[in-house]
Chain A
């Protein structure tokens, strides 16, 4: 069947009409030729042909698809009907657009983070290697582990290691020195991720082996911005930390990394190394046909082999190796928060639907005579339902288009409020965009909502008792019992859903406030932090790093307005290392006594962060390489490992068995400081040990400088940004022109630490409030409609002696009964649903009494407000006027 049949119907019909006219003329000629006189000839011609209109209709119908025609007619009618009530149409469109808009916004984040496959070729076969422990999986690897995994060629087609995070590298020898983000990667990294090469090549095997020389591969962004996209950069050298690096290639723009990378340098592993530091992440591509369980089984054997090669304690007793899918590793912990947000936003949409259904019911009751008339002149019930559904679909689809716009703007706003490191969304959400998934989602949601909110009103409205309605003299009699009941059910549903949302929001608000009240154990106010990359040759031993810290401390301390200065290899609330230790002279039942967070800090560190000294003494500049080894521990460490006895009497051995780089003499515990939260704010502070920067073993400093910058902490009298310029120049002088980066106050670091919780809270609050507002509108709508339709009843009551207060209380009572039922249902629902929030809560229980008492009261107050207006209106009824309506 060809499409030709259906196109250009109107023109073809005109053509047919002309053709029939021509036929009649010829027939008339033929009749005339037989001697029939003019008028009679024409009559006979017409008689012979039959009704031309019938023929035209036959052809017209043949050229049409009946249901499309009907739908088009219904749509035209729906649009006309909606245009007649612009107020209703606009309010309804707004409610739908907001409902669909927030859904589109949240869905587009879900789409970008969870649904879209990774942008690498054949992403399903990419896996991340993890260390399995009894406390969960941990992505990370040491060089010997990588070397062993690389040999598992029966399960891995490709394997590559890269640094946990990029490290700062100072681009020097140019007009404007700049700190670049460099990532250490093994040779196969680019092939593994299918990174396109825009110019030159990636690393050779020789370049990625020890002493392979200084080479770099540039990112597309750096190439364009710094070097104007000049292909001749390949083969030239650039200066990084004062060393010449040969640029061997440029990676194409389409290669996506989660944190921005400026350039890549080879890891140059010595695969025979016994270095047990876990500084790398390893990603691999499974051989075709190899499943995750098969790979895991193989890696269990590899773990046994690892223990045999490097000793029983090279892995924790319950530890081993494993693989997880790369996508799962990247987004796994975002799944449940995003799905909960999606569910919450679905609630908002349901409330919007109930609201619109309510409005449609009110509208339908005002149109009963119109619908009855249509039924009376022959429209079937199906036709009326279809036409009313077409109206609601017209509303929902228009609302959907508006919602798409709202969603598009909304998602930008959403991601502006710092969502706290959601993976895969790019910088400020640049990878969250409009795509087919989102368009289909919005279309689907629009159609579904149109049917959802349109069906009940359409069915109710199409069931008119014709005679009764047509015989009614006016529209003043009340809404039918059934319709009133349905509207009440809808309002109860709205209130119940809104209550669930608001309780969820209340729990998250309380969580956020509790988090804000947590004392991190140090001063965050008026403390500035910044990083300085020390990855260059200069800082491969401890002495120059200690010298830099001492020199910087002196110079910055001299800046007016600076109260204290410190330096360290970690930043509280942002990063940290861990290390094992032994307590000398104490029997141990494992390979070592215990583990603790491990910071190496300058003498000014504790005072710069205002960390209180509890006992003993803190470091001074005299605790240098030539002085006896010392260590300061935290209260939590003292409590855990010295429940009895005095830690200040003991010496500890840090990093036993961790490899030659960590070999050092035992250290005397000289002081105990207050606990600080170095990981997440919502986690209890763990045991901590601090050593002086100047007393790090050289090998450890070399490893450390490669992967971590030096952090500077400056406590000031006033707003720290006021002294930023002199501090920066002081540090530049102290370091011989090294740049600083990542300049933030510790308040900002703390805010970033709880950004995710803030994001959840803000969204839930927005959803809760919009649900609450819609529910209030719903209550108001139903009650004011009911008051309006009972004007006559009110008049009679008044005439019979009812006081204004009686009438008001009557209306309020009826409205509040709906509110109470809704609250009761909502409470039950919330009790069932808030446990899904439990893992996002901190300091409050999922059954938090405050949230479960205050929120229903709030909802009742809002409902009272919403019924108050129609209730007062009921008291203003003029009994005479009401009775005269008869």
Chain B
């Protein structure tokens, strides 16, 4: 049990995938496959999105009106559902990023400089 943890630590951990999706879409509309690929590539393949959980997350975010979606034609000339960030989603991204930064800073402070 960690005492005196930042009150929003739980949210941060749970919302990581959400935050990553929002961040990815901040660069422009994309469909699910692109989002998964971009997260993987941007993280230099450190984060491998479990594709099965990507879609439940997308639907949950859309229900919260952070995302909007519409069907369109992809770069491969295939039908695909494109998601884009709503203004509400953009605000949420800023808040989530702030929470994440505070959290990692707190953890950094505890870990301190690298122990040789």
Interface residues of A (CB under 8 A from B): 2, 4-5, 12, 15-16, 18-20, 22-23, 25-27, 29-30, 48-51, 54-55, 58-59, 62
Interface residues in B7-64 (C-beta closer than 8 Å to A): 31-34, 37, 50-53, 55-56, 59-60, 63-64
Contacts A4-B63, A51-B52 supplied; 15 other A-B pairs, CB < 8 Å: A5-B63, A12-B59, A15-B81, A19-B32, A20-B55, A22-B79, A23-B33, A23-B55, A25-B76, A26-B34, A26-B74, A30-B33, A50-B50, A50-B51, A62-B56
Asked whether B80 is an interface residue with its Cβ less than 8 Å from the other chain, the reply is yes
B residues near A26, Cβ cutoff 8 Å: 31, 33-34, 74, 76, 78, 80
List 17 A-B residue pairs with CB atoms under 8 Å apart, sorted by A's residue number: A2-B65, A4-B63, A15-B81, A22-B78, A23-B31, A23-B32, A23-B33, A23-B55, A25-B76, A26-B31, A26-B33, A27-B33, A29-B78, A30-B33, A50-B50, A54-B52, A58-B52
Min Cβ gap B37→A in Å is 7
| Interface range on chain B (Cβ under 8 Å from partner) | 20 to 34
Contact A22 B31 (CB under 8 A): yes
What are the residues of chain B within 8 A of A12 when measuring CB–CB? 59
Q: How far is the CA of A5 from the CA of B65 in the complex (A)?
A: 11
Q: Could you tell me the distance between the alpha carbons of A525 and B56 in the complex, rounded to whole angstroms?
A: 87
Bound Cα distance A19, B51 (Å):
12
Chain A residues near B78: list those with CB within 8 A: 22, 25-26, 29
**Given known A-B contacts A27-B33, A51-B52, A59-B55, A22 and B60 have beta carbons under 8 A apart:** no
Chain B interface, >50% SS class: helix
Given the complex, which residues of A lie within 8 Å of B81, measured CB to CB? 15, 18-19, 22
User: Which of A12, A15, A49 has most B Cβ within 10 Å?
Assistant: A49
**Chain B residue at smallest Cβ distance from A4:** B63
Inter-chain contact B60/A16, CB cutoff 8 Å: no
**Shortest Cβ-Cβ A-B pairs, 9 listed:** A26-B33, A50-B52, A55-B52, A22-B80, A49-B51, A5-B63, A23-B33, A19-B81, A29-B76
Q: B56: which A residues are within 8 A, CB to CB?
A: 55, 58-59, 62
Minimum CB–CB distance from B40 to chain A (whole Å) comes to 11
Chain A residues with CB below 8 A from B53, complex form? 55, 58
Cβ contact within 8 Å between B52 and A49? yes
Q: In the complex, what residues of B have CB within 8 A of residue A18's CB?
A: 79, 81
- CA distance in complex: A652, B65 (Å): 96
Minimum CB–CB distance from B97 to chain A (whole Å) comes to 24
Nearest CB of chain A from residue B67's CB, rounded to whole Å:
12
Q: For the complex, give the distance between the alpha carbons of A51 and B51 in Å.
A: 10
Tell me how far the C-beta of B4 lies from the nearest C-beta in chain A, rounded to whole angstroms.
30
B50, B52, B60, B76: which contacts A62 (Cβ < 8 A)?
A: B60
Cα of A27 to Cα of B74 in the assembled complex, Å: 12
Chain A residues, Cβ within 8 Å of B33: 22-23, 26-27, 30
Taken together as a complex, chains A and B put the C-alpha atoms of A54 and B50 apart, in Å, by 13
User: How far, in whole Å, are A16 and B51 apart by their CA atoms in the complex?
Assistant: 13
Once the chains bind, are B37 and A48 in contact (CB under 8 Å)? no
Which chain B positions have C-beta within 8 A of A23? 31-33, 51, 55
B31, B63, B76 pick with most chain A CB within 10 angstroms? B63
Q: How far is the CA of A15 from the CA of B69 in the complex (A)?
A: 11
CA A30 to CA B75, docked complex, whole Å:
12
Alpha-carbon distance A506/B79, docked complex (angstroms): 81
B77: nearest residue on chain A (CB-CB)? A29
Interface majority SS (helix, strand, loop, mixed), chain A:
helix
Tell me the complex Cα distance, A51–B74, Å: 23
Q: Which residues of A contact B80 (CB under 8 A)?
A: 19, 22, 26
A62 to B63 Cα, complex, angstroms: 11
* B51 CB contacts on chain A under 8 angstroms: 23, 48-50
Chain B residue nearest to A24 in the complex (CB): B33
Q: How far is the CA of A2 from the CA of B65 in the complex (A)?
A: 10
| Contact A62–B59 (Cβ < 8 Å) | yes
Chain A residue numbers with a CB within 8 Å of B50 are 50
Chain A's nearest CB lies how many Å from the CB of B9?
22
Q: Are B52 and A30 in contact (CB under 8 A)?
A: no
Which residues of chain A are within 8 angstroms of B32 by Cβ–Cβ distance? 19, 22-23
Chain B residues near A15 (CB, 8 Å)? 81
A46 CB to closest chain B CB (Å) equals 11
Q: How far is the CB of A511 from chain B (nearest CB, A)?
A: 68
Cα-based distance from A62 to B78 in the complex (angstroms): 28
Q: Residue of A at shortest CB range from B60?
A: A62
Residues from chain B with a CB closer than 8 A to the CB of A62 are 56, 59-60
Among A16, A19, A27, A49, residue most surrounded by chain B Cβ atoms (within 10 Å):
A19
**Residue of B with least CB distance to A26:** B33
Q: Which residues of B contact A2 (CB under 8 A)?
A: 63-65
User: With A and B bound together, what is the CA distance between A29 and B65 in angstroms?
Assistant: 31
Kindly list chain B residues whose C-beta atoms are within 8 Å of the C-beta of A48.
51
Find the B residue at minimum CB distance from A6: B63
Closest to B36 in A: A23
**In the complex, what distance in Å separates the CA atom of A19 from the CA atom of B60?**
15
A22: chain B residues within 8 A (beta carbon): 31-33, 74, 78-81
Chain A contacts of B52 at CB under 8 A? 49-51, 54-55, 58
Q: Determine the chain B residues whose CB is within 8 A of the CB of A4 once the complex forms.
A: 63, 65
- Give the nearest-CB partner of A22 in chain B: B80
Instruction: Tell me the smallest distance from the CB of A536 to a CB of chain B, in Å.
Output: 78
Contact between B59 and A59 (Cβ–Cβ < 8 Å)? yes
Q: Which residues of A contact B31 (CB under 8 A)?
A: 22-23, 26
In the bound assembly, the distance between CA atoms of A5 and B32 in angstroms comes to 20
Q: Which of B55, B63, B79 contacts A55 (CB 8 A)?
A: B55
Residues of B contacting A50 with CB < 8 Å?
50-52
A684 to B66, CA, bound (A): 85
B60: A residues at CB distance < 8 A: 62
CB A183 to nearest CB in B, in angstroms, measures 64
Smallest beta-carbon distance A779→chain B, Å: 59
Nearest chain B residue, comparing its CB with the CB of A21: B79
From residue A885, how far is it (CB to closest CB) to chain B in Å?
A: 58
Q: Chain B residues with Cβ under 8 A from A5's Cβ? A: 63
Which residues of the partner chain B approach A29 to less than 8 Å between Cβ atoms? 76, 78
Q: How far is the CB of A54 from chain B (nearest CB, A)?
A: 6
Min C-beta distance of B45 to chain A, whole Å? 14
Contact of B59 among A16, A49, A54 (CB under 8 A): A16
Give Cα A711–Cα B80 distance, bound, in whole angstroms. Answer: 93
Which of B52, B78, B80, B81 gathers most chain A CB within 10 Å? B52
Chain B residues within an 8 Å CB radius of A27: 33
CB distance from B48 to the nearest CB of A (A): 10
B68-86: which have CB < 8 Å to A?
A: 74, 76, 78-81
Q: Which residues of A contact B55 (CB under 8 A)?
A: 16, 19-20, 23, 55, 59
| Bound Cα distance A18, B59 (Å) | 14
Task: Report A10 CB to chain B, min CB distance, Å.
Answer: 14
